[in-house]
Amino acid sequence: MRFAFLTELYFPSVGGQEVFFQELGEALVRRGHTVDVYCIGHVPDLPDVEVINGVTVHREANSGRYKTPRIKALRRNWSDIAKYSAGIRRVAARGEHDFYLLNEWPLMHVLALPGSARPRSALHWCEIREDLLLRTLQAQFPKLVGSNFAVGEAVAAAITEQSGRECGVLPSGIEATRYRAAAGAERSGALYVGRLAPHKNLPLLVDAFGLAAERGFVGDLVIAGAGPSLDDVKATVRQSPVADRVQVLGSVDEARKLDLLATSSVLGMPSKREGFPRVIAEAMASGLPVVTADFTENGGKDVVKQYGAGIVCGQTPVAFADALLDAQAGWEGYAQAGRAGAVDLDWTHIAEKLEKHAQQTQLGG
């Protein structure tokens, strides 16, 4: 089959949805399918067309201000989105693909999809937003495509409730065999791996770790990642009473990340907003319990609950500290549950699910 992925950003842009579409596409290629990705070229000098690990990437050039529009509140340059969406309409109108998988973002491309392509399309929802405009779109956009998928059970339930349309689940997967899980005696410390941005809420984790350390938490806190909040995170760490037990590594390579996942005893996820954080799946495959807070827009909490792979706690440093200590003490049970759940999150199973759905769509089923 020939798949078209219609998504805002793609590698070398870094983010959860970029990883989702890249690795799902590569998994489909390994299964003998053709995958074309149509995205927005987020930085200058990227090729208009290139093949990456068997996936053909088509980039729509932008004005040079896509991520930094003159009106900052817009977050994106909407003239670029309009241009991209017009290009998507032309691509789909040619009818060269058997199935279209659309990312939730950048929204306008959903409206641009021609009627002839809609029965053979699915919209993938990566997160739920609570503001009025986006709630309206979450209620209406699922009706404009042939089918809907979400990154996790909670997001799927919200889309179904708001739109009245059935929504399946296509989670962000992993190659489970790449991860190793050290024994409990070889593990210590808390870990954060991911982008450093305001909504990731790192001060909560730093403050909670300080409280947990004073109560006997074993090991240091390691923060691995980069992003716009890097300097702010370093400043927060300097003010911590246990600053000597907190390491801010910046970006790490894949080998270092896998080692950290295998040898830490707890993964801290303090985010206020997430869809299906890939790092939770990676932690599960590594036998690493997850602690996350019950913020309304934090989809990570639903993943942890679904698989029993850790603890969902309150939003205060005290509550988060309690959970860090409890997760470390109960490591074995959470680790076993996580590793069992990780089997379902292997890309092979996820790609097969989309493949079967697309084939049924072709047959009119």
What domains, with CATH codes, occur in the chain? 2-173+346-362 (3.40.50.2000), 176-343 (3.40.50.2000)
Provide the pLDDT for residue 169: 95
Provide the pLDDT for residue 76: 87
pLDDT at 365 over 60: no
Average pLDDT over residues 327-350: 96
pLDDT at 195 over 70: yes
- The pLDDT tens digits for 199-234 are 999 999 999 999 999 999 999 999 999 999 999 999
Distance CA 234, CA 79 (A): 36
Q: What angle do CA 159, 100, 93 make, to 5 degrees?
A: 120
pLDDT at 141 over 90: yes
pLDDT band per the 50, 70, 90 thresholds, residue 31 = very high
Mean pLDDT of the chain: 95
- The pLDDT tens digits for 311-337 are 999 999 999 999 999 999 999 999 999
pLDDT at 268 over 80: yes
Average pLDDT over residues 40-59: 94
pLDDT band per the 50, 70, 90 thresholds, residue 70 = confident
pLDDT at 364 over 80: no
Please state the three-class secondary structure of 299-354 as a single string.
Answer: CHHHHHHHHCCEEEECCCHHHHHHHHHHHHHCHHHHHHHHHHHHHHHEHHHHHHHH
pLDDT band per the 50, 70, 90 thresholds, residue 345 = very high
